[in-house]
Amino acid sequence: MISFLGTGLLGANFTRALLKRGEKVQVWNRTAEKAKALEAYGAKAFEQAKDAVKGAGRIHLTLADDQSVEEVLAKASPGFAPGAIIIDHTTTSAPGAARRSAYWKEKGFLYLHAPVFMGPQNALEGSGIMMICGDQQAIQQLEPELSKMTAKLWNLGTDLQKAASIKLLGNLFHITLMGSVTDLITLADSLGVPHAEIEGLLELLNPAAIVRVRLKKIASNTFDQPSWELSMARKDARLMMEQAASSHKTLLAVPAVAQKMDLWLAKGHGHNDWTIISKDPNKA
């Protein structure tokens, strides 16, 4: 028996996928109607979390944040079966994930943090990426079943904060990438460049390769060997902002980057490689 606590878009589709594979699934959600809707697919819905976990060997969670996870687990815990394993797919803080692992270990239950890089369709199809960390013996035993829920189960080792940390880094990439995409569209509109041509530009630039090169440059700490001087990069940032302003538009990400450039320029680093902005100017 499997229990799923939190049946929003992600949890609902995880549940549907489990049911398709013939699993028995008990569900609960704060908004009871969302859990009840899954009975059409074969799940059994409960109004109380403590009832939804009774008899379940695995208890999966897809909730909002640290607070909601802790509140729901507290409410559900009176119904935990001996030896039940808690598998939390919620994006949470790294310290929170480690704290919960230690807390539930003291209570006699295994808590594993397993956040995902998935959308609802991925959960339904068993595609996307699921990360997990913690007790390696338990993870090895769970791997065959968890692997059915994802295209890649990424075991990050014993560090109880690692899965949460990697998830936050991945989401940071998505958020900042959206800032860059927004600026690309804004500047393209100001310049009269069709959006389709942005796609062609990105194919030529190969962003993933650029990121690897930038990371390698930063790690080398060779900012005195510039491939693009900071002063020149700042000039281009100015041109971008001026062009956008000429069309009564405002860029989202570039102004913040330009402010960091200015801090380094004020310290006399105009001839350094522009990737120096990745460092703290107050420690220069």
Per-domain residue ranges of the chain: 2-159, 166-283
Topology match between the domains 2-159 and 166-283: no
pLDDT range class, residue 106, cuts 50, 70, 90: very high
Instruction: Read off the pTM.
Output: 0.94
pLDDT range class, residue 201, cuts 50, 70, 90: very high
What pLDDT, on the 0 to 100 scale, is given for residue 33? 97
Query: Residues 113, 137: contact at Cβ < 8 Å?
Result: no
Q: Distance between CA atoms of 185 and 251, rounded to whole angstroms? A: 9
Q: Distance between CA atoms of 174 and 170, rounded to whole angstroms? A: 6
CA 245, 177, 234: angle at the middle one, nearest 5?
45
Looking at the structure, give the CATH architecture of the domain made up of residues 166-283.
Orthogonal Bundle (1.10)
Q: Which residues contact 106 (CB under 8 A, 6 or more apart)?
A: none
284 has pLDDT over 90: no
What pLDDT, on the 0 to 100 scale, is given for residue 41? 98
Q: Any idea how long the chain is?
A: 284
Residue-wise pLDDT for 207-240, tens only, equals: 999 999 999 999 999 999 999 999 999 999 999 9
6 has pLDDT over 90: yes
Mean pLDDT of 135-145: 98
Mean pLDDT of 231-250: 98
Burial 115-124 (b: 16+ CB within 10 A, else e): bbbbeeebbb
Q: How far is CA 267 from CA 28, 220, 223, 230, 277, in A?
A: 57, 21, 14, 12, 12
Nearest Cα to 251, choosing from 199, 182, 157? 182
pLDDT range class, residue 132, cuts 50, 70, 90: very high
Give CATH superfamily name and number for 2-159: NAD(P)-binding Rossmann-like Domain (3.40.50.720)
Strands 116-117 and 129-132: antiparallel
148 has pLDDT over 90: yes
What pLDDT, on the 0 to 100 scale, is given for residue 45? 98
Q: Distance between CA atoms of 84 and 57, rounded to whole angstroms? A: 5
What pLDDT, on the 0 to 100 scale, is given for residue 187? 98
